Amino acid sequence: MKAKKTAKTSQVARRADAGQKKWNWVFYLLPGLGVALFVGLASLNLATAMWFDESYSAYLIRGDFGQIWEMTSVDVHPPLYYFCLKLWSLVFGTSEVALRAMSVTLGALAILLAFWLLKRWFGLRKAGVLTLFLSLSPLLIRYSQEMRMYMLAFLIVVGATLVLDVALKERRKWAWGLYALLVALGMWTHYFTALVWLAELGYLIYYMRRHGRQEAVFWVYPLAVALFLPWVPSFLRQVASVQAGFWIAEVSLVTPLNFWAEGLSYTEAGAATGWLAMGLLAVMGLTVGLLVQAWRRRTDLEREGLRELLTLVVVPPALLMLVSLPPLSSTYMTRYVVYSAGLLMVVVGLAVVWGWGQTASKVARRREWGRRGAAVMLAALTLVVAGLGIYKVDTRENTGEVYGVMTVMRPELTAGEPILFQTATATNYYDFCFYETAENRVYGVELELPWSSLRPLTEYGENYLDAYEAEQLVAGAEGFWWVADRGQEAPEHEGFGVERQLETEYYTAFHYTQL
């Protein structure tokens, strides 16, 4: 009788398992849906005004690969992203939408890789749902709209972590070699990926103490260092210049809260007031509570996955905050650890799916509906908080100091008239050059160049003039435009007079014609 009952129970379990597998295809579609959401939301605001870092990227790729190497060596970042952007521009063009689209593409690829990583950690169904949460990260959407290296770093970090998981658990030699390559590529992209590699080294030591030593570890990191050696001299010079003085705000007790708030809503903690602040705190409390409550009910594989996830989310920003304390100069910005802040959405999503999961113990099932209610509340609050962040990201005004004056001037331009500008600093030089056209070239005149990141102006030389060169340029023109800081008077140019002038918030544009 007991044997019949056992057989019947096993048969019911097999049918339930088969029923679950029947719907597995749905969870393979969720990553595609997540990527579609991510690309759609990120593409809504790709035409916003340029800012210095982005226009620097666009100007830098005017040079060849040798010039890009030389120019980045005197800046603060390594060159790999600029090499990739150069190649991308040769295929897709150099408009702001085309160049920013590379970051959107890299972010979408990173989300797909994240699905396979999460599938290894938590299983197919949970990974599908967690990928949807990740695709709604306001911070990832925001920095996928930037012509900068953050999405490339995110892709490399996720890919390297996936490969490391294969290397550790399946002991594949090819995976160890690929991991070494990705570690090096991360350093060639953004130096602060080193924080991830340090965090994962710590996790490796922990894992090997529990599961046995793997000899490959002893050659992986030396190989990664060897692959980075050609750039080390430039790296050391950059470190010295950054520590000599930098503009980033000091780390404080509010910084960890900023990390949480920016990761979930793209809003600094100090700016999160009222209902948004309460929502962020509620999401934090529910996330911690549900994860702690679910911990004992999870399998060893799932608990191991959470440890690896938290290693990525917690350790890199904590290390960056630590090395930003005096006497060192502060180098902490949330976008520098965008991979960690973006993955906060996965941590919250995991609390939701673990909180919703059924309880195996009959004794504890009376609490199940309360826990599921908390999971539903957490999901709803997260969607609201993230939704507000996405709205903020995608409704940023398409304005800027240079964009504003160029927009006002554009209807007044006549083909062949050059645009010259002379301002107090050269910080907006790259912006001016980005908005030039073949019919109306832009030139900076005797600009102050206080930073090494402005060196391409004189090295490339095509848009930078001294006073004599400027007079020679306009001498043969029928007319030209001169842009100066607002409040400055129109300078005199022999043989020319000011025909009209246009005012914006930051600049005055004077139109000169021959007398």
Judged against a pLDDT cut of 60, whether residue 117 lies above it is answered with yes
- From residue 310, give the alpha-carbon distance in Å to each of 50, 276, 344, 378, 423: 34, 25, 9, 19, 48
The whole-number average pLDDT for the span 349-353 is: 96
Lowest mean pLDDT of 92-101, 232-241, 352-361, name the range.
Answer: 352-361
**DSSP letter string, 277-318:** HHHHHHHHHHHHHHHHHHGGGS-HHHHHHHHHHHHHHHHHHH
CB 270 within 8 A of CB 254: yes
Q: Where are the chain's structural domains?
A: 30-394, 401-514
Residue 314 CA to residue 303 CA, distance in Å, equals 16
**DSSP letter string, 188-216:** HH-TTHHHHHHHHHHHHHHHHHHH---TT
CB 463 within 8 A of CB 442: yes
Report residue 302 as tokens: 């799932």
For the stretch 119-141, pLDDT in tens is: 999 999 999 999 999 999 999 99
**Which of the listed ranges 44-53, 54-63, 135-144, 291-300 does the model predict with the highest average pLDDT?**
135-144
Report residue 23 as tokens: 């719907």
CB 283 within 8 A of CB 264: yes
**Which of the listed ranges 178-182, 267-271, 362-366, 423-427 does the model predict with the highest average pLDDT?**
178-182
- From residue 508, give the alpha-carbon distance in Å to each of 437, 466, 483, 513: 20, 21, 6, 16
Quick one: pLDDT at residue 9? 43
Quick one: pLDDT at residue 240? 67
Judged against a pLDDT cut of 80, whether residue 297 lies above it is answered with yes
Provide the pLDDT confidence category of residue 361 given band limits of 50, 70 and 90.
low
CA neighbours closer than 13 Å in the CB half-sphere of residue 216: 17
- From residue 326, give the alpha-carbon distance in Å to each of 76, 252, 253, 492: 20, 11, 14, 50
Judged against a pLDDT cut of 90, whether residue 115 lies above it is answered with yes
For the stretch 415-456, pLDDT in tens is: 989 999 888 777 788 888 888 888 999 998 888 777 777 777
Residue 388 CA to residue 96 CA, distance in Å, equals 25
For the stretch 172-212, pLDDT in tens is: 889 999 999 999 999 999 999 999 999 999 999 999 888 88
**β partners of residue 419:** 442, 481
For the stretch 76-112, pLDDT in tens is: 899 999 999 999 999 999 999 999 999 999 999 999 9
The whole-number average pLDDT for the span 249-257 is: 88
Provide the pLDDT confidence category of residue 487 given band limits of 50, 70 and 90.
confident
Q: Collapse the DSSP code of 478 into the 3-class scheme (helix H, G, I; strand E, B; otherwise coil) and give the result.
A: coil
Would the CA dihedral through 225, 228, 230, 234 be positive or negative?
Answer: negative
Quick one: pLDDT at residue 136? 97
Report residue 94 as tokens: 């150099």
User: Mapped to the 3 state alphabet, what secondary structure does 320-364 carry?
Assistant: HHHCCCCCCCCCCCHHHHHHHHHCHHHHHHHHHHHHHCCCCCCCC
Quick one: pLDDT at residue 366? 61
Report residue 179 as tokens: 């991991």
Provide the pLDDT confidence category of residue 358 given band limits of 50, 70 and 90.
low
Average pLDDT, rounded, for the chain: 88
For the stretch 370-412, pLDDT in tens is: 788 899 999 999 999 999 999 999 998 767 788 888 889 999 9
- From residue 267, give the alpha-carbon distance in Å to each of 38, 207, 280, 343: 19, 36, 10, 16
Quick one: pLDDT at residue 362? 52
Judged against a pLDDT cut of 80, whether residue 153 lies above it is answered with yes
Quick one: pLDDT at residue 8? 47
**β partners of residue 496:** 514
For the stretch 10-56, pLDDT in tens is: 444 444 444 456 677 788 899 999 999 999 999 998 988 888 899 99
CB 338 within 8 A of CB 138: no
Nearest to 120 by CA among 308, 280, 332: 308
Quick one: pLDDT at residue 16? 41
Strand 507-514 relative to strand 479-485: parallel, antiparallel, unpaired?
A: antiparallel
The whole-number average pLDDT for the span 163-175 is: 92
Lowest mean pLDDT of 6-10, 155-159, 334-338, 351-355, name the range.
Answer: 6-10
